[in-house]
Amino acid sequence: MNGDRLMQQVTSIFSIFMVLFYLGVGWYFVFYSNLSYLDKSIRVIMGSTFMFYGLYRAYRTYVKIVEVFFTKDEDDE
C-alpha cells in the first residue's frame, strides 16, 4: 500500500499549487482593472467566488496533508 500513499502525497502537493492558482485568479479579478471589458460587479463576484473556493480547497488540502504526511499508516505496524 506504499504506492497508494505516495500517490496521495503527490496529489496533496499538487493541491497546494491549485489553491495558489484559485486565490491568485480571485485576487486578480477583484483588485486589477486590466479586465475593463467586464463590469466591476461581475469581476468582484467572479473573484470572490474564486477566492472562497480557494479558501475551501486550502482547508481540504490542509486536512489531507495532515492525514497523508503526519499520521501513521495501519499497514506500517
What span, in angstroms and rounded, lies between the C-alpha atoms of 23 and 77?
Answer: 39
Q: Residues 11-29: pLDDT tens digits?
A: 999 999 999 999 999 999 9
- Give the residue-averaged pLDDT of 55-62: 97
Closest of 68, 70, 73, 63 to residue 19, by C-alpha: 63
Amino acid letter, residue 62: Y
Say if residues 9 and 68 touch (Cβ distance below 8 Å): yes
In this model, does residue 5 exceed pLDDT 90?
Answer: no
pTM for the model: 0.83
What span, in angstroms and rounded, lies between the C-alpha atoms of 58 and 23?
Answer: 9
Say if residues 49 and 28 touch (Cβ distance below 8 Å): no
Q: Residues 27-55: pLDDT tens digits?
A: 999 998 787 788 989 999 999 999 999 99
